[in-house]
Amino acid sequence: MQVFPSKRAPIFADIPDEKWSDWRWQLSHRLNSVEDFQQIFTLTESETTALSQPNLFRVEITPYFASLINPDNPLDPIRRQILPTAAEILPFTGEMEDSLSEDAHSPVPGLVHRYPDRVLMLVTTQCASYCRYCTRSRIVGDPTQSFSSKDFEAQLNYLRKTPQVRDVLLSGGDPLTLAPKVLERLLTALREIPHVEIIRIGSRVPVFMPQRVTDDLCELLQRFHPLWLNIHVNHPNEITAELAEACDKLTRAGIPLGNQAVLLAGINDDPVIQRKLVHDLVRIRVRPYYLYQCDLVQGAGHFRTPIGKGIEIIEALRGHTSGFAVPTYVVDAPGGGGKISLTPNYILSYSDNKVVLRNYEGYVTTYIEPTHYEKIDPSLTAAYQKEISDTGQEGVAGLLAGDAMFIKPEGFDQLHQRGGERHRLRDRTEKWIPRGIGDGRQKDAED
Ligand code: SF4
C-alpha cells in the first residue's frame, strides 16, 4: 500500500493541503492539453498526435490521478488508461459507436432496460477523468448530451409504472460528479418508488478523486439504503492510501463496495497483475466483482485482448486465492445481449451417475451423483414464485424449469417450412405441442 498522502507531481508541490484535498479544486484544475501534460512528463509523438486531433474523446485528468503516473515511463499503466495515443483514432473491424445497443434498449433517453428486474439509469455525461476505452464515449464527456430534469422525470415515470424493476443502477458518466442537491433529489425520487428495492451506483470518482468522498457525501448516501457502490480500479497502482481512506468511509457508512475492472492490453493483461489487484482490493474491503472483456467500442481497439487471456487470468486466480477475491469474467454481448460470464472448463466428463471434474491444480476427481434425489416440495417454494413474469426473458432457465421446450431463432419455422403448399401432414399443429409444457415455445413479451 502506498504511503499517505500519495506523491504529488512536482508542479503541484506548492499547492496548500486544503486546496489539494478539496474535490472542487481537483475538478477545476484538471489537465487536458499538450501544454498541461508537458509540465509533468514528456509526451510521446503518438500522444501528441492524438491530442491534436479534432473530435477526440474528451481528455481530462485530475491532478491527484496524474500524480500517480511515473513520468519516466510512457508505458505506465495509469498513463495508458487516460492519455490518448494515435492508436485510439484507428478504426477496427467490428467497432461500433454504441456496441452494447444501449440506446436501442432505452424506452426513454438514458434508461436502459436490458434485464427483467433491473435497469441502468444514466444520470450525467460527466466524469472526474475520462478513460480512453469508455463504453459510452458516444455521449460521455459531451455536455450537449447531458440529461435534463425533463429526462430524469421521464426516467422516473417509466420506473414508477414498471413494477418488475427492483434494482436501479445509477451510472453515466459518473453519478458522484453530480451536484449534491441533484443527486439527493434523484435518490429521494427513487426511494419513493415502492418496488425499487436496491439502488446501485457505478462510480470511478473514488479512484480519480478520492477527495470527493467526504463525510457529507457518505451521510447523504447512507440515507438511501440499501445502496451499493461499484468502483472501477484496473491496476494495483491506483490503490493508494487516499482510495483506501475513501473506501473505509464508504464501508463505515454501510455501503457494500465492489470493483469492476476492464481487461486492458498492455495495462493489466497478466495474471500476476490481476492477482496483486484483487489482493489489494480485498485488503481495502472492496470485493472484486467483474473483470470485463473490453467492448467493441470506437477508440478501444488497441486495448482489446483475446478472450483466452481472460480465461487464463481466471485460471490463475480460481483456487489459487480466496474465492471472494475472484471476479466474474464477463463479455458484454455486442448488440445488446447482456453480460455473458466465462470460466475455464472444470467439468471433464459425465455419465448418468458420475461427473468427472478437475480442480485448479489439475487434480481429477469423480463426484458420484445420488441415485435417488427427492427435490424440494413445491409447497415450500410456492410463496417465492415471482408475481411478475420475466416477460419473455426466461431463457435457458425457462427450458430447465419446464416453462418452454425450445428457443427458436427468429424466422426458424418459416425457413424450415421451405415454402411449398399447405399439405395434409402439416395441417394439424397440435402434433408439435409437448404435453404439460404449454405450446412448448418460450413466451414472448407480447403473449
Ligand atoms: S469513468 Fe466510466 S463513464 Fe467515465 S470515462 Fe471512465 S469508463 Fe467512461
Q: What is the mean pLDDT of residues 178-200?
A: 98
Distance CA 246, CA 206 (A): 6
Beta pairing partners, 331 = 340
Is 247 a known active-site residue?
Answer: no
Q: Which domain holds residue 135?
A: 103-342
For residues 146 and 287, membership in a common domain is answered with yes
Q: How many CA atoms lie within 13 A of 297 on its CB side?
A: 25
- Residue 6 confidence (pLDDT) above 90: no
The pLDDT of residue 445 is 46
- Taking the centre of ligand 1 as the mean of its atom positions, its distance from the CA of residue 65, in whole angstroms, is 14
Q: Sort strands 257-263 and 227-231 into parallel, antiparallel or unpaired.
A: parallel
Q: Is 127 a catalytic site residue? A: yes
Report the nearest atom of ligand 1 relative to the CA of 141: 5
> Is 295 considered catalytic here?
yes
Asked if residue 237 and residue 188 are part of one domain, the reply reads yes
With the most atoms of ligand 1 within 8 angstroms of its CB, the residue from 80, 125, 126, 130 to mutate is 130
DSSP secondary structure string for all residues of 271-323 = HHHHHHHHHHHHHTT-EEEEEEEPPSBTT-GGG---HHHHHHHHHHHBTTB-G
Chain-centroid distance of CA 414 in Å reads: 38
Same domain, 199 and 301: yes
Burial class (CB in 10 A: 0-12, 13-18, 19+), 26: buried
Q: What pLDDT, in 10s, does the model give residues 25-80?
A: 999 999 999 999 999 999 999 999 999 999 999 999 999 999 999 999 999 999 99
pLDDT band of residue 447 (cuts 50, 70, 90) is very low
Q: Indicate whether 359 belongs to any domain.
A: no
Indicate whether 55 and 138 sit together in one domain.
Answer: no
Pocket of ligand 1 (CB under 6 A): 127, 130-131, 134, 136, 140, 172-174, 204
Q: Which atom of ligand 1 is nearest to the CA of 127?
A: 4
For residue 357, being part of any structural domain is answered with no
Q: Is residue 209 part of a domain?
A: yes
Residue 370 lies in a domain: no
> Which atom number of ligand 1 is nearest to the Cα of residue 130?
5
Does residue 424 lie within any of the structural domains?
yes
Nearest Cα to 196, choosing from 158, 167, 237? 167
Handedness of CA 7, 11, 16, 19 (dihedral sign): negative
Same domain (yes/no): 34, 84: yes
315 in any annotated domain: yes
Are 288 and 398 in a shared domain?
no
Catalytic-labelled residue, pool 80, 114, 132, 304: 114
| 376 located within any domain | no
* End position of a domain, from candidates 342, 372, 397: 342
Q: Which of 342, 360, 379 is the last residue of a domain?
A: 342
End of a domain among 342, 376, 405?
342
Q: How far is CA 273 from CA 101, 236, 259, 263, 410, in A?
A: 31, 7, 15, 11, 43
Q: Which residue's CA is the nearest one to ligand 1's atom 7? A: 134
Length of the chain: 447
pLDDT score, position 401: 83
Per the annotation, the verdict on 131 as an active-site residue is yes
The pLDDT mean for the chain works out to: 94
Q: At residue 389, does pLDDT exceed 70?
A: no
Instruction: Say how many Å lie between the CA of residue 130 and the centre of ligand 1.
Output: 6
Torsion angle in degrees (nearest 10) through CA of 200, 222, 251, 19: 100
Cα 184 to the center of its chain, rounded Å: 23
**Tens digit of pLDDT for each residue in 329-354?**
999 999 999 999 999 999 999 999 99
**H/E run at residue 122:** strand 118-122
C-alpha of residue 173 to centroid of ligand 1, in Å:
6
For residue 282, the domain's CATH number is 3.20.20.70
Is 72 a known active-site residue? no
For residue 390, indicate whether it is catalytic: no
Task: Say whether pLDDT at 387 is over 70.
Answer: no
Residue 238 three-state SS: helix
pLDDT of residue 405: 87
396 and 318 share one domain = no
Cα–Cα distance measured from residue 100 to residue 110, given in angstroms and rounded to the nearest whole number: 14
My answer on whether 278 and 307 are in the same domain is yes
CA separation for the pair 227, 233 (Å, rounded): 20
- Mean pLDDT lowest among 98-112, 139-153, 325-339, 391-405: 391-405
- C-alpha count within 13 angstroms, C-beta hemisphere, residue 445: 5
Q: Are 232 and 269 within one domain?
A: yes
Using alpha carbons, select from 257, 380, 270 the residue that is nearest to residue 324. Answer: 257
**Number of domains comprising the chain:** 3
Which residue, among 445, 432, 316, has the nearest Cα to 388 in the 3D structure?
A: 445
Within-domain flag for 198: yes
227 φ, ψ (degrees, to nearest 5): -125, 130
d(CA 430, CA 446): 22
Whether residues 23 and 113 fall in one domain? no
Q: Residue of the nearest CA to atom 5 in ligand 1?
A: 130
Q: Say yes or no: 133 and 187 in one domain.
A: yes
